[in-house]
Amino acid sequence: MRHGMGGKERKRAKREQEVICLKVEISRVLEKLTSAQNLGLTKMTPPFEGIENFDYGLRRALDAAFDWKAFGDMLLHQIPARTLVFARGVFELRFALFLSPDEKDTLYCIGPWAEGPRSKESITWCKTYLDEKAQDVIQEYHNRVRQIDDNAIKSTLFGVISLIYPEGELKTEEWREFMPLNFRPGLESFSDTSFTEELPAELVAERYAAENRMLQAVVKGDSSSALGAYESFRRFQVTPRLHSLLRDFKNFSIILNSLLRKSIEQASVHPYYIDQISARFAIEIEALTSLEEGERLRVRMVKEYCLYVQKYSLRQYSPLIQKVINQVNLHMDSDLSLKSLAAQCYISPSYLSSVFKQETGQTLTDYISSRRMERAAKLLLTTNARIAVVAEEVGILDVNYFTKMFKSATGQTPTHYRRDKRAQLSLEVAPDGAPPLLQEKEKREKLKKSEITPCKAARSML
């Protein structure tokens, strides 16, 4: 006769299930953590297939006959249980290793990372024993490795991994030159084509692949994927070209700005908007005063270029509808009647009306009205222009008709909308007719007069 579990058994089963869930969550957190930090996460288990890339192929390039199975067996037997090992391998690379508590014969290796630029000792050794070509390869390899504060990443990894074990059980050890023990490649290895040609080619290909993933995500307006790809891309440090690190950073930021600009062009964003954002970032790049500020700017660049695609991309429409939409958005204060827009496209009004409704799901008249009200709302919030001036800016000369349209769209008159929205944002409510704030046209003129343009900024690199 089958009986249900007793109270103790149920409690024990529940605790076991909680432990299993915790371990699953910790593994996911570890994957997300290493991904966010641009660190490799290699799972090593017999027969240790695929572990040769744990150090981005460095050891494989230096020793084609390297015994990876023996290497994996050595690590499994020498890493103590319940211990997080922080190891410093050849070429000043850092790794973290620990045995999985719930997976038999399974080791996790995190890294590599570098504490900072190469040490003087490393550079001197290379100059003494290696030719110029091999030195360049080693520098390119170090450019690939993530530079991160050693103590910070160690504390973070220990905090996450310790959650797998009962409190106080996880210990740490520090190892030096362990990958593997007594690994000392002969100097002739640095002249082999697998090191001087194949490894650099792999590193460059990987850098370009990361760059392309980022740009493809930007084309789609996928901010999350673009930022993730950017984190992988920025792991690759580019060899400095000048004595000023900040000037180098600015120059490569200009290149990034150009790449992002070309990406949103592929998304059929109008050149007016592309010039608007690229010129603004060119100015901000030149104004940078620190590398930390620059890193924050680069992240914002990726985000905002994605937002521009989300807002202005017309790639889902035919060239005809793209032209009409751009005409509406860029010349809102002009005659936007169905007849005039059709005449500009050399087609009949009825045909334009039909195609526009088919592709956008709304009538051309409704689209124009909605875009005008959106622009008017922005002007009311960001300027102190009179209501009549705002109406004229969006192509409506009859202020009473404008007020009626605006109330129909927002539920408020323009005056009440301005007062309420500014109050919500704690903005000063100026009386209607007060001197306007900087208008969009004035901003564009000011931008044109600026001495720093994308072209001039790019020429400063040459």
**Tens digit of each residue's pLDDT (9 = 90 or more) over 426-438:** 654 444 444 444 4
**Pure H helices in 267-290:** 271-286
The whole-number pLDDT of residue 207 equals 74
**In Å, how far from its chain's centre is CA 203?**
20
**High-pLDDT (> 90) share of the chain, %:** 37
| Segment 303-333, tens digit of pLDDT | 999 999 998 888 889 999 999 998 998 888 8
Q: Do 168 and 243 share a domain, yes or no?
A: no
Other beta carbons within 10 angstroms of residue 408's beta carbon come to: 10
Query: Hey, is 443 helix, strand or coil?
Result: helix
3-state helix, strand, coil in the chain (%, to 5): 65, 5, 30
The whole-number pLDDT of residue 229 equals 84
Q: Do 17 and 151 share a domain, yes or no?
A: yes
Distance CA 376, CA 52 (A): 60
User: Domain of 380: which CATH number?
Assistant: 1.10.10.60
| Segment 232-270, tens digit of pLDDT | 777 665 555 556 778 888 998 999 999 999 999 999 898
Q: Do 162 and 23 share a domain, yes or no?
A: yes
CA atoms within 13 A on the CB side of 274: 18
Instruction: Read off the pTM.
Output: 0.55
Q: Does residue 162 surpass a pLDDT of 70?
A: yes
Least confident of 126-140, 195-209, 265-279: 195-209
Assigned domain for 64 exists: yes
Q: Do 260 and 398 share a domain, yes or no?
A: no
Least confident of 143-147, 182-186, 250-254, 378-382: 182-186
Assigned domain for 270 exists: yes
At 308, give phi and psi (nearest 5°): -65, -40
DSSP state of 362: S
Q: Do 323 and 290 share a domain, yes or no?
A: no
Query: Hey, is 109 helix, strand or coil?
Result: strand
- 158 in Cβ contact with 172 (< 8 Å): yes
The whole-number pLDDT of residue 278 equals 94
| Segment 44-83, tens digit of pLDDT | 999 998 888 888 777 777 777 778 888 889 889 889 999 9
- 282 in Cβ contact with 454 (< 8 Å): yes
Q: Does residue 340 surpass a pLDDT of 80?
A: yes
- Under the banding of pLDDT at 50, 70 and 90, the label for residue 36 is confident
Q: Do 50 and 99 share a domain, yes or no?
A: yes
Assigned domain for 412 exists: yes
Which residues 6+ apart lie within 8 Å of 457 measured at CB? 254, 282, 285, 286
Q: What is the mean pLDDT of residues 176-204?
A: 60
**What secondary structure does DSSP assign to 180-208, as a single string?**
TTT----GGGGGSHIIIIIHHHHHHHHHH
Domain ranges, residue 288: 199-314
Assigned domain for 448 exists: no
Distance CA 369, CA 396 (A): 10
Last residue of a domain, one of 284, 314, 344: 314
Q: Do 73 and 165 share a domain, yes or no?
A: yes
Assigned domain for 145 exists: yes
The whole-number pLDDT of residue 446 equals 46
Q: Do 210 and 303 share a domain, yes or no?
A: yes
Greater model confidence, 322 or 8: 322
Cα dist from 201 to 90, 204, 380, whole Å: 21, 5, 56
- 170 in Cβ contact with 83 (< 8 Å): yes
Q: Do 63 and 47 share a domain, yes or no?
A: yes
The whole-number pLDDT of residue 194 equals 62
The torsion angle over the Cα atoms of residues 261, 265, 268 and 269, rounded to 10 degrees, is 30
Greater model confidence, 10 or 384: 384
Q: Does residue 19 surpass a pLDDT of 60?
A: no
The amino acid at 374: E
Assigned domain for 193 exists: no
Last residue of a domain, one of 273, 291, 314: 314
Distance CA 276, CA 332 (A): 17
Greater model confidence, 278 or 141: 278
Least confident of 326-340, 405-419, 431-445: 431-445
Assigned domain for 226 exists: yes
Distance CA 193, CA 447 (A): 51
The whole-number pLDDT of residue 15 equals 52
Other beta carbons within 10 angstroms of residue 435's beta carbon come to: 8
| Segment 93-109, tens digit of pLDDT | 899 999 988 888 999 99
Cα dist from 373 to 192, 313, 394, 424, whole Å: 68, 20, 8, 20
Distance CA 164, CA 29 (A): 11
DSSP state of 118: P
Greater model confidence, 306 or 4: 306
Q: Do 79 and 167 share a domain, yes or no?
A: yes
DSSP bridge pairs for 172? 84
The amino acid at 262: K
Q: Is the dihedral of CA 433, 438, 444, 448 positive or negative?
A: positive
- Under the banding of pLDDT at 50, 70 and 90, the label for residue 301 is very high
Q: What is the mean pLDDT of residues 145-160?
A: 88
Greater model confidence, 118 or 224: 224
Q: Do 385 and 300 share a domain, yes or no?
A: no
Least confident of 138-147, 303-312, 313-322, 391-400: 138-147
Could you tell me how many residues make up the chain?
462
Assigned domain for 2 exists: no
Helices (H) and strands (E) in the chain, counts: 21, 6
**High-pLDDT (> 70) share of the chain, %:** 78
The whole-number pLDDT of residue 203 equals 66
Last residue of a domain, one of 314, 333, 364: 314
Q: Please state, rounded to an integer, the average pLDDT across all residues of the chain.
A: 80
Q: What is the mean pLDDT of residues 160-184?
A: 75
Antiparallel, parallel or unpaired: β 94-99 and 83-88: antiparallel
**What's the domain count of the chain?**
3
Q: Do 308 and 324 share a domain, yes or no?
A: no
Query: Hey, is 269 helix, strand or coil?
Result: coil
